[in-house]
Every structure is written in structure tokens, then in C-alpha cells.
């Protein structure tokens, strides 16, 4: 139930962010030369800039972000050992395109092939991981699409784990940004692999194609992609202060252009916005309960609250905690009892940037008949 609630919260944040984008005097968006793009703050979930962000296009090797997500998830759950050795099939060996030069005689570790995917964009490495985790690439693709649905990537469909051009293999700037946010959020330690500038395997050193790692000090990596159909693509990440920015860009004209245009987006976010969070006293509270075995319950938000606003406007931001009063037992742990809203006060109107349910932190059982009647009398007397 809680997971479903958090999914709804995430969708609500996106929708509120889009409404606020129109209602608040947001900074003028940068001019970006690409087919589609989006810029998000990974913590707040708010959209800071966008263009054709839901247009379905070929994602090329950015597909491998999902391949890595499933591998990281398996490692986190303990079903994948990073030090175990894997087989290299003939299919992986002969796949072509960008590779880490795996051969059937080799038995690399899982850790090595993950570097091969993230840093070298190895199609062979991605195929090896898919076959190792799911037994076949077809079964792995089924897992990819199931996870995409789980993450709210509603305009994405995968046909392979590498990003090779194929009919019905598509995604969007928004969906790739969502995937980037999920990688950073769900696997903070594994995420560090995306910042690796080079990797050496079998005596061969290769460089990461993500030039943001050299040109933007705040860059945290992520994934490039390129095919003739897709053009040059890049999902990028940068961190400054509380801000965790994720950009996704499809269809730039060249390798240099995707780096430059992604940098335009990320620098725009860092220059024009700030991400803040409320004080604990504004979002966590002990509220009175009647007709229960205990007379109070603590409530706190269902998720961490981060808000991204234009620089200078944070002083006009407030957090409003509201809940039904009186609260009556029984109350279940995790039950939604109210909400906390982040409100930006403007000259024209107050704009709700985010609304998050507040949940009971413990259960409160119903009191005895006598206890309930006593509390009912207290409430009656209070309302006189």
C-alpha cells in the first residue's frame, strides 16, 4: 500500500510541477538545439525545462541504463554476486558496435561487465548481463519492460538490452530522465560508476563517451547514445548543493553538440534555481487522538520533501501541514491522516508546488467501551 501511495505521490509531484511551471514567473528557458529534451530536479521531481519531452524516439545506448538498473537491483537484493564470473556467448561476442572486446574464452566478473556497460557502453557486456540474469535476452527484455512500467515510463518499450535500432524500440526524454532519477535514488553507491572517465579491461583502456565528465565540474555522469536513426543522445546528471539535476536530450547533431547542449540545460538549472527542504517542525507533528488506547500519534510525510524554486523566491515558500481534527481510533500504521503542502506565495496567487500525504507512524487501537464514551464526552464538552 505504501509503495502504491509513493507512486501516486511521484505522479502528483510531476503534475503539480507542470502546473506551477505555468503559474509562477519561471526563468526563461534556454535555447537547446535537439529534437527533444527535459531537465528535472531528481530530489523534488520538478520539471525545470522541457521541449517535446514525451515524443517517442529511439533511445540508442541510453537503453543500457535500464540494463544496469536491473543488474543493480539484483545485486542490492543479493541475487547477483558482483564477484561471480560469467560466460560470454557467441551472440555477445559477435554483436558488434561499441564493445569491451569480450570473447568466449573469457570469464569476466559481473563487476567488470557492469563497468563495461556504464563506462564503455559495451553491447557485448549488456548482452552478457542480460543472458546471465534472465537466461536469454528475450526474457530480459520482458523484465526491462515490466520495470519501465513500474517506474512510470509510460512512453517506453524495449526490444533489446543494448539500444540497437529495432522496430517498436522507443523511449522519450521524460522517461529516460525518470530512469536516471530512479538510478540515482535507488542505488546511490552503484550510481558512482557513471562518473568513471575510463576503464581498462584485458589490458585495453577505453574512455567514457560522456564528455560532460571533463567539461562540467558538477557532472556526475550518466549515459550517452548514438545511432543514425537516434542521432546523438545524452542523459546527464549534475549535483550542486541540494540540487540533483538530471537532463535527457535526444537528437543532437553531433557528439560535441550533445555535450554542449546538455551542459546548457544543466548550467541553466544550477544558475537559475535552488532546491530546499522544510524544517522538521513544519512537517512532523504529534496530533491528538480520541477513543484510542493512546491519546496521540506522530505523523510525518510519506516521502522526503524537496522543493525546487527560482533563486530568490525561496523566501516566499512556506509549508502547510493539515489534517482532520479530531482524529478517532482505530488508526493503522501508515494510514494517511492529512497532507503537507509546499506553497509558493506570488503577487498574483499562492501556488501549490507539492502535496504529500502525512502518515501515522504507529497504530492506535480502539479503547474500551468506557474509554470511548469518556472521550466522546470530552469532545462534546470541548465543542460547547
Return d(Cα 66, Cα 183) in angstroms, integer. Answer: 9
Q: Which residue has the cell 564503455?
A: 120
- Euclidean distance between CA atoms 304 and 275, whole angstroms: 13
Based on its alpha-carbon atoms, the radius of gyration of the chain, rounded to whole angstroms, reads 24
Would you say 162 and 61 are in contact if contact means Cβ atoms under 8 Å apart? Answer: yes
Q: Residue 378: what are its φ and ψ, rounded to 5°?
A: -60, -45
Question: Of residues 64, 178, 220, 263, which has the active-site annotation?
Answer: 64
Residue 54 is classified by DSSP as T
* Selected catalytic residue, list 36, 44, 50, 61: 61
Closest CA to 257 of 212, 317, 314, 197: 212
* 64 classed as catalytic: yes
Residue 171: partners with Cβ closer than 8 Å, 6 or more residues away = 56, 57, 58, 59, 62, 63, 153, 155, 156, 157, 158
The catalytically annotated residue of 121, 171, 247, 262 is 121
Please say if 121 is a catalytic residue: yes
CB 305 within 8 Å of CB 278: yes
Q: Which residues pair with 169 in a beta bridge?
A: none
Indicate the Cα dihedral angle 330, 335, 337, 343, nearest 10°: 170
CA distance 11 to 23: 19
Catalytic residues: 61, 64, 121
Amino acid at each position: 500500500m505504501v509503495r502504491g501511495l509513493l507512486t501516486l505521490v511521484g505522479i502528483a509531484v510531476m503534475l503539480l510541477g507542470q502546473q506551477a511551471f505555468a503559474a509562477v514567473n519561471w526563468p526563461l528557458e534556454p535555447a537547446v538545439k535537439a529534437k527533444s529534451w527535459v531537465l528535472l530536479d531528481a530530489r523534488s521531481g520538478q520539471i525545470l525545462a522541457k521541449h517535446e519531452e514525451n515524443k517517442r524516439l529511439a533511445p540508442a545506448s541510453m537503453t543500457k541504463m535500464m540494463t544496469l538498473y536491473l543488474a543493480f537491483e539484483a545485486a542490492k537484493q543479493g541475487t547477483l554476486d558482483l564477484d561471480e564470473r560469467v560466460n560470454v556467448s557467441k551472440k555477445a561476442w559477435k554483436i558488434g558496435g561499441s564493445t569491451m572486446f569480450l570473447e568466449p574464452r573469457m570469464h569476466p566478473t559481473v563487476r567488470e561487465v557492469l563497468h563495461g556497460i556504464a563506462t564503455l557502453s559495451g553491447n557485448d557486456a549488456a548482452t552478457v548481463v542480460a543472458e546471465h540474469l534472465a537466461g536469454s535476452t528475450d526474457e530480459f527484455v520482458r523484465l526491462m519492460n515490466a520495470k519501465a512500467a513500474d517506474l512510470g515510463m509510460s512512453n517506453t518499450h524495449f526490444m533489446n538490452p543494448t539500444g540497437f535500432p529495432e522496430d517498436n524500440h522507443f523511449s522519450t526524454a521524460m522517461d529516460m530522465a525518470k530512469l536516471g532519477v530512479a538510478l540515482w535514488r535507488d542505488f546511490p553507491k552503484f550510481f558512482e560508476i557513471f562518473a568513471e572517465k575510463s576503464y581498462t579491461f584485458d589490458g585495453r583502456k577505453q574512455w567514457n563517451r560522456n564528455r560532460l565528465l571533463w567539461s562540467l565540474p558538477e557532472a556526475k555522469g550518466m549515459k550517452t547514445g548514438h545511432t543514425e536513426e537516434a542521432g546523438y543522445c545524452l542523459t546527464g546528471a549534475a549535483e550542486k548543493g541540494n540540487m540533483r539535476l538530471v537532463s535527457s536530450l535526444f537528437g543532437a547533431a553531433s557528439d560535441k553538440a550533445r555535450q554542449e547542449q546538455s551542459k546548457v540545460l544543466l548550467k541553466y538549472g544550477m544558475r537559475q534555481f535552488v532546491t530546499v527542504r522544510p524544517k522538521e517542525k513544519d512537517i512532523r507533528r504529534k496530533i491528538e487522538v480520541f477513543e484510542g488506547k493512546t491519546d496521540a500519534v506522530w505523523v510525518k510525510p510519506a516521502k522526503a520533501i524537496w522543493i525546487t524554486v527560482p533563486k530568490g523566491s525561496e523566501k516566499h515558500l512556506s509549508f502547510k501541514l493539515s489534517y482532520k481534527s479530531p482524529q478517532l481510533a482505530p488508526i493503522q500504521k501508515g494510514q494517511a491522516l492529512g497532507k503537507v503542502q509546499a506553497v509558493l506565495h506570488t503577487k498574483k496567487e499562492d501556488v501549490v508546488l507539492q502535496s504529500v500525504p502525512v502518515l501515522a507512524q504507529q497504530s492506535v487501537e480502539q479503547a474500551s467501551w468506557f474509554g470511548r464514551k469518556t472521550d466522546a464526552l470530552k469532545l462534546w464538552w470541548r465543542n460547547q
